[in-house]
Structures are given as C-alpha cells and as structure tokens.
Amino acid sequence: MKWIQDCWSIPMTTFISKVFREPKRPSGGRQRLEHEQTFDGNLAQYESGDVMHLDDLNYNPIINLKVI
C-alpha cells in the first residue's frame, strides 16, 4: 500500500504506467509443493516404523520432508 501513498500526487497516466510496468528482474514464479511426493515419503516412513519424529511439536512434514 505504500506505493499508493507514494503515487498519490502524480498524474493518473504516470500512476498507471508504474502499476503496469515491466518487471526489473525475472521471477522464478511460485514454488509449488509436491503433495504426492510428500505423502509418499510420509507413508513410507510410517510403514517402516520411522515415526518418532511425528510426535515432536517442532516437526513440519511439509517443510522437513525426509525421503527414504
């Protein structure tokens, strides 16, 4: 919202050109999670009995994926 405050006093054509400008640097895009791979990894850990880490409150299976 700061850019609206910064552009409040400039002409509308300048504001629109700033809003729809070309990016200055390339974007890697949104990093998508691979849910199937995460589920398969967690299922393999469960089936092998390696589930003690699931009782830890600091463990997040989405971020800390450990593929066997």
| Residue for token pair 């589930």 | 51
The pLDDT of residue 59 is 65
CB 32 within 8 A of CB 2: no
Supply the pLDDT for residue 60: 67
Q: Please write the tens of the pLDDT for every residue from 4-51.
A: 777 778 888 888 888 888 888 887 777 777 888 888 888 888 888 877
CA 21 to CA 16: how far, in whole Å? 8
CB atoms under 10 Å from CB of 45, counted, come to 19
Is residue 63 a contact partner of residue 42, using CB atoms and an 8 Å limit? Answer: no
Do the Cβ atoms of 7 and 14 come closer than 8 Å?
yes
Indicate the pTM of the whole model.
Answer: 0.37
pLDDT band for position 62 (50/70/90)? Answer: low
